[in-house]
Each structure stands twice: as C-alpha cells, then as structure tokens.
C-alpha cells in the first residue's frame, strides 16, 4: 500500500497512535513516521513488539519511542502524557485507534470503559499538549458508527454500542476543540480483512466476511485501512468531521 503522507511533510510534527504495536495502529504510526513525524508507539503489555516496531521505523530513518499505557488506567494515561511532554514537548497528531471489548474475563462494562470513558479521558488528558492546528482522529467501524440504524452481529453488539457512545462523547467535545484550534476527524471503516476482530466474528458467524465483501464490493485490508487513517490525520477535515472508508450504502436506513 502506498503511503498517503508525503515524505518530509510531517517533519517537526509529533504524533501518538494509541494501540500501535500491531495491526492497523502499527501501520498508521509507520506511515506517519515515514512522513517525517516523531512518533509514539503505544502498547498495552507487549513492550518487545513495540520496540521491534520502533527499531523498524528507525531503520528506515524515522524517529520513534515506545510508551506503554493501559488506556483504562488513569495513572497509566497520566504517565503516558508526562513521558510525551518530557520527550516531545507537545503533540500535533493524536490518533485514537486502540479499541477492544471482545476479550474474555473482563468486567461486564469493560467495552464501555475502554471505548467511551477511556477515550474521553485520553483526549481530555491530551488537551494541554495539543496546540492550535493539532489534529485528533478517532477510529471506528461502520458496524459501530451505524449501530443505531443497522444491525450487527451479536458478538460485536457491546463493542459497537460502546464505540458509538465513545464517538458521540468525543463529538460533544468538538466545540471545545474548535475553540482551541484543534481539528477532529472520525474515520469509519467496514470490516477489515486479516484483523483479529474480523477473524473472531467470522469464527462465530461463518461466512460473515464473504457476505460483507459481496455486499460492499470489496473490503480493505490492514495496510489499506491504515493508509486511510493516516490520510485522515493530514488531509482537510471532511464534512461532518467524518471520513467513510469503503461502501456505506448497506448501513444507511
């Protein structure tokens, strides 16, 4: 996949992508680093994986640091931003990619804790570091964005409801962000082939990916979707602060 971020166009910029040690987040943070941004690879537990990505970015001439933080742990988030303040002095791009809620053994309201409450706390904690001209991107799925008008698979329902609640809570912050000169974009995408989420949903609903693919015409893969997320961080803010990736016609009421 080609990088939508022009080489050197982000020189002097500083970016954090949450949940970026693997998958969509890892490709997004790599695209931003290739564009010249100094980046933070945020991981929850897997430090070794994050350090490997940092090394890969540096090997290509980029600049990156790995910072661990569980976004549902407020003190951990405080430490994350303290580290960024000390290392970078501020942030120009914040990509809110980390997500979850289908993990087993978590509290009943874990999806809401992570996808709504932790996202609002994260953005609130980031505000002192975001100067006018900064960009915030929230990553979500069509299945979550349209959950109030289009059905989803039962295994994904709590995640979808919580991500939509998170999106709504973040959108409610747009007036405050605008006042501070900070731009906000939601990126909504269809199921992404090759992700753990899509694999879990396919396992519970055999044929689901094939059906979505047929209905949508095509599905994006991880690097293609990450390129859209990276583009959302640098291109002009779209109408209604929303960048749709892939077909949405099947979700419209």
Ligand X SMILES: NC(=O)c1ccc[n+]([C@@H]2O[C@H](COP(=O)([O-])OP(=O)(O)OC[C@H]3O[C@@H](n4cnc5c(N)ncnc54)[C@H](OP(=O)(O)O)[C@@H]3O)[C@@H](O)[C@H]2O)c1
Nearest residue by C-beta to ligand X? 19
| CA-based nearest residue to 171, from 181, 180, 159, 183 | 183
| Count of residues touching ligand X (by CB under 6 A) | 30
Q: Looking at 3-11, 44-52, 145-153, 206-214, which segment touches ligand X (CB under 6 A)?
A: 44-52
Window 14-43: contact mask with ligand X (x via CB under 6 A): ----xx-xxxxx-----------------x
74 binds ligand X (CB under 6 A): no
119 binds ligand X (CB under 6 A): no
Window 126-165: contact mask with ligand X (x via CB under 6 A): -------------xxx---------------------x--
Report which DSSP code applies to 221. B
Q: How far is CA 11 from the centre of its chain?
A: 21
192 binds ligand X (CB under 6 A): yes
Cα–Cα distance measured from residue 59 to residue 34, given in angstroms and rounded to the nearest whole number? 11
**Smallest distance, ligand X to C-beta of residue 237, A:** 19
| CA-based nearest residue to 251, from 141, 89, 143 | 143
List 13, 14, 38, 44, residue binding ligand X (CB under 6 A) = 44
Task: Provide the β-strand partners of residue 94.
Answer: 16, 136
**Smallest distance, ligand X to C-beta of residue 101, A:** 8
Rg, C-alpha atoms of the chain? 17
The order of strands in the sheet holding 183-189 is: 63-68, 38-43, 14-17, 91-96, 130-141, 183-189, 242-245
Cα–Cα distance measured from residue 108 to residue 206, given in angstroms and rounded to the nearest whole number? 26
List 15, 57, 65, 71, residue binding ligand X (CB under 6 A) = 71
| CA-based nearest residue to 24, from 142, 171, 187, 135 | 187
Closer Cβ to ligand X, 3 or 113, answer by number: 113
Closer Cβ to ligand X, 131 or 204, answer by number: 204
Task: Report CA dihedral (91, 136, 30, 196) to the nearest 10 degrees.
Answer: 130
**Smallest distance, ligand X to C-beta of residue 39, A:** 14
Question: Under the rule (CB under 6 A), what is the footprint of ligand X?
Answer: 18-19, 21-25, 43-46, 70-72, 97-100, 114, 139-141, 163, 189, 191-192, 195-198
């Amino acid at each position: 996949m080609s990088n939508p971020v022009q080489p050197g166009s982000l020189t002097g910029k500083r970016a954090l992508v949450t949940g970026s040690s693997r998958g969509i987040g890892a490709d997004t943070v790599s695209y931003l680093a290739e564009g010249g941004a100094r980046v933070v690879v945020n991981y929850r537990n897997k430090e070794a994986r994050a350090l490997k990505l940092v090394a890969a970015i540096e090997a290509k001439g980029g600049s990156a640091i790995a910072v661990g933080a569980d976004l549902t742990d407020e003190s951990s988030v405080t430490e994350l931003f303290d580290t960024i303040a000390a290392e970078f002095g501020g942030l120009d791009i914040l990509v809110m990619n980390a997500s979850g809620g289908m993990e087993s053994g978590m509290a009943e309201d874990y999806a809401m804790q992570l996808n709504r409450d932790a996202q609002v706390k994260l953005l609130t904690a980031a505000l002192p570091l975001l100067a006018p001209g900064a960009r915030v991107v929230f990553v979500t799925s069509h299945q979550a964005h349209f959950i109030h008008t289009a059905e989803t698979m039962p295994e994904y329902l709590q995640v979808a409801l919580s991500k939509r609640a998170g999106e709504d809570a973040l959108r409610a912050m747009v007036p405050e962000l605008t006042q501070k000169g900070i731009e906000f974009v939601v990126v909504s995408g269809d199921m992404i082939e090759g992700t753990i989420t899509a694999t879990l949903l396919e396992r519970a609903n055999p044929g689901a990916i094939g059906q979505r693919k047929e209905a949508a015409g095509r599905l994006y893969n991880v690097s293609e979707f990450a390129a859209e997320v990276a583009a959302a961080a640098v291109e002009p803010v779209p109408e209604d602060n929303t960048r749709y990736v892939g077909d949405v016609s099947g979700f419209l009421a």
